[in-house]
Amino acid sequence: MTVIRLPAAQPGTVLGTAPDTAESADAYRATGGYGGRTGPDELLAHLTASGLRGRGGAGFPTAVKLRSVRDRGGAPVVVANGEEGEPGSAKDRWLLRARPHLVLDGLARAAEVTGAVRGFVYLSDPAAGESVRRALAEHPPPLPVEVVETAHTYVAGEETAVVRRIDGGPALPAAKPPRPYERGVGGAPTLVSNVETLARIALTAAHPDLRYAVARHTLVTLSGGPGAPVLTEVRYGIALRALAARHGTPDAAGALMGGLFGGLVDAPALDLPLEPGALTAAGTALGCGAIRFLTPGCCPVTTAADAAGHLAAESARQCGVCVSGTAAVGNALASLAGATAGPDTADSLHRWSQGLPGRGACGLLDAAAAIAGSLLRSFPLLVRSHLAAPCPLCSAAEPADGRRRLTVAVPEVAGPPGRTRVPAPAAAPRTPPPTYPAQPALKGTP
């Protein structure tokens, strides 16, 4: 079961003061929520000054995204994206279960800034859906807001997949351009924003004096140690090594960063600060804030095989290059862990890590390439040793099983007063993505 650790300072935090209990509208209003002190132009100025970046993975400047939708004119749409595709992340589902009013307030604020006339909350977690619907009934928003549910898959949260699903189609990525801010739900300019980003917009509106603290704190899901996974809120700049020590893995051999998108880093990289720019410059990424530390008893090759296997299983199978590419990377890493790799396996992984990024409709193929490339870059001697002889750690581990080993559960959240606490289910394999006919592989794919 994932546990929550509160930060030392409480003001302006997304976790709040009672993260294990669903917040009521009255409790939220008591903290300054749903207030009308900050107007849309003033809020946009605060978001610009603070430099708040999106928390969905790409880290795009929030103010720029809001302004882009606003400036398209027409009748914009705003979407709270709570479909959490990364297996190692639990923050978005927890937010919707525990603090739905904070998210809905942020959605309403984003609608004011962009001039949106409709809103949607997009999710796949039934408990989160129940919590959001209850919150909507408690405090009806100033614009129509609809809850749209989808199957829980890796690609379902990609912004064009979100638009397609809300429009009644499959939750599958579409070719770009146009991007949603140009032409989204129903053909209207659409803001698709991660729920943590919206929560930070609401906090900025309620506490503009704390805008820099709000923008420079982030939720992280930490896993991989001997204890339970942890959801906590930290300030940008803290060293990854300090986070590892807090999580009970001070001797970590490295980490799997950003869910799966940031790839693997080695032990020296744990001296890096948890700051998007610094991590990007070092060839990794904060992504959705999911960090899995590599314990001494876990071989990075096993973790890489788990990650690539998960991505291959989650492919929507609508891009031939993704089907063949993720399968090739996953099979190669599984053979490396299973002591059946051929002498050219490392060369193939290097070639795919360089040639596959940017060729699929979404970031899934890029993530698989990043896993392969980062393993070769961060653990080259380990890869060579696996080619020479079986690895005792990999031999002791079960075959690649990213769905079980990499997935974390949502922290337990009690219902509002009068409702019985319902324990969150243990981490379980996710619903397999829908089966679509495989497309022919593009020329030059593995």
Question: Are residue 40 and residue 156 in the same domain, yes or no?
Answer: yes
Provide the domain count of the chain.
2
Write the pLDDT tens digit of every residue in 175-225.
Answer: 889 999 999 999 999 999 999 999 999 999 999 999 999 999 999 999 998
Q: Is it the case that residue 282 has pLDDT exceeding 70?
A: yes
Average of per-residue pLDDT across 107-114? 98
Which residues neighbour 48 within 8 Å (Cβ) at sequence distance 6 or greater?
63
Per-residue pLDDT band for 153 (boundaries 50, 70, 90) equals very high
Helix H or strand E segment including 351: helix 345-355
- Roughly how many angstroms between the first and final C-alpha of the chain, as a whole number? 39
Question: Are residue 21 and residue 142 in the same domain, yes or no?
Answer: yes
Question: Are residue 53 and residue 181 in the same domain, yes or no?
Answer: yes
Average of per-residue pLDDT across 99-124? 98
Within a domain: residue 256?
A: no
CA–CA distance, 7 with 352 (Å, rounded to integer)? 41
Domain span at 354: 300-396
Within a domain: residue 421?
A: no
Cβ 270 vs Cβ 294: under 8 Å: no
Average of per-residue pLDDT across 147-171? 95
Q: What are the helix and strand counts (H, E) for the chain?
A: 18, 10
Question: Are residue 311 and residue 166 in the same domain, yes or no?
Answer: no
Q: Is it the case that residue 233 has pLDDT exceeding 70?
A: yes
Question: Are residue 202 and residue 317 in the same domain, yes or no?
Answer: no
Question: Are residue 187 and residue 315 in the same domain, yes or no?
Answer: no
Within a domain: residue 85?
A: yes
Domain with residue 317: its CATH number is: 1.20.1440
Mean pLDDT across the chain, nearest whole number?
Answer: 90
Give the pLDDT score at 359.
85
For residue 383, give the amino acid letter: V
Give the pLDDT score at 429.
36
CA–CA distance, 336 with 93 (Å, rounded to integer)? 34
Within a domain: residue 98?
A: yes
Give the pLDDT score at 340.
94
Question: Are residue 208 and residue 313 in the same domain, yes or no?
Answer: no
Give the pLDDT score at 440.
35
Question: Are residue 208 and residue 346 in the same domain, yes or no?
Answer: no
Give the pLDDT score at 417.
62
Question: Are residue 158 and residue 306 in the same domain, yes or no?
Answer: no
Domain with residue 113: its CATH number is: 3.40.50.11540
Cβ 268 vs Cβ 283: under 8 Å: no
Within a domain: residue 68?
A: yes
Per-residue pLDDT band for 92 (boundaries 50, 70, 90) equals very high
For residue 309, give the amino acid letter: G
Question: Exposure pattern of 127-150 as b/e (b: 16+ CB <10 Å)?
Answer: bbbbbbebbbeebeeeeebebbeb
Q: What percent of the chain has pLDDT over 90?
A: 77
Average of per-residue pLDDT across 101-117? 98
Question: Are residue 315 and residue 194 in the same domain, yes or no?
Answer: no
Length of the chain: 446
Q: Is it the case that residue 438 has pLDDT exceeding 90?
A: no
Q: What percent of the chain has pLDDT over 70?
A: 92
Task: Determine whether 37 is exposed, middle or buried from the number of CB atoms within 10 Å of its CB (0-12, 13-18, 19+).
Answer: exposed
Q: Is it the case that residue 330 has pLDDT exceeding 80?
A: yes
Give the pLDDT score at 225.
83
Within a domain: residue 19?
A: yes
Give the pLDDT score at 418.
54
Q: Is it the case that residue 75 has pLDDT exceeding 50?
A: yes
Tokens 């982030």, located at residue: 218
Q: Is it the case that residue 230 has pLDDT exceeding 50?
A: yes
Model pTM? 0.91
Give the pLDDT score at 226.
86
Within a domain: residue 260?
A: no
Average of per-residue pLDDT across 263-268? 96
SS3 133: helix
Q: Which of 214, 236, 261 is the last residue of a domain?
A: 214
Within a domain: residue 241?
A: no
Question: Are residue 319 and residue 206 in the same domain, yes or no?
Answer: no
Average of per-residue pLDDT across 62-90? 96
Give the pLDDT score at 423.
40
- Which token pair is 52? 């708040």
Handedness of CA 402, 225, 82, 218 (dihedral sign): negative
Question: Exposure pattern of 390-427 as b/e (b: 16+ CB <10 Å)?
Answer: ebeebeebeebbbbebbbbbbbbbbbbeeeeeeebeeb
